[in-house]
């Protein structure tokens, strides 16, 4: 699963976006959503948890790009200058999953943080 996710990331995202990989989000009016924090975050997880999360990666990227639905948004309790946006999605197999996008209040930059199944 990790291999498929990395291949998709390199071929579809890195290749099309240049130096700093990003996708444009429909919900955020085609603003860029960067992947700076995703890979370090995912590699901190134990292998079993990483596998669970990477299973949703391709669907998560599509959700980040195409969703126009309002996410559940809240201020980051650990860092006042950030807003966390949580989108819910469905895979082709009708499995529910979530993605989290962090927004820096000052710079207005968005970062794809994680994708995960419901707990």
Q: Summarize the confidence of residues 71-99 as an average pLDDT.
A: 94
**Which secondary-structure segment (H or E) carries 17?**
helix 15-17
pLDDT at 81 over 90: yes
Tens digit of each residue's pLDDT (9 = 90 or more) over 27-60: 999 999 999 999 999 999 999 999 999 999 999 9
Is residue 114's pLDDT more than 70? yes
Confidence of residue 1 (pLDDT cuts 50, 70, 90): low
Q: Given strand 82-90, what is the order of strands in its sheet?
A: 22-25, 31-34, 110-116, 96-104, 82-90, 72-75
Q: Where are the domains of the chain?
A: 2-11+37-116
Q: Residue 45 contacts by C-beta under 8 Å, 6 or more apart in sequence?
A: 53
Given a contact cutoff of 8 angstroms between Cβ atoms, the answer to whether 67 and 27 are in contact is yes
């Amino acid at each position: 699963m990790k291999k498929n996710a990395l291949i998709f990331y390199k071929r579809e995202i890195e290749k099309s976006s240049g130096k700093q990989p990003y996708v444009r989000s429909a919900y955020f009016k085609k603003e860029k959503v960067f992947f700076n924090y995703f890979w370090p975050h995912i590699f901190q997880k134990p292998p079993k948890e990483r596998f669970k999360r990477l299973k949703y990666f391709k669907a998560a990227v599509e959700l980040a790009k195409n969703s126009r639905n309002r996410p559940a948004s809240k201020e980051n309790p650990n860092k006042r200058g950030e807003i966390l946006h949580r989108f819910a999605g469905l895979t082709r197999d009708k499995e529910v999953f979530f993605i989290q996008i962090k927004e820096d209040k000052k710079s207005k930059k968005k970062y794809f943080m994680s994708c995960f199944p419901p707990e």
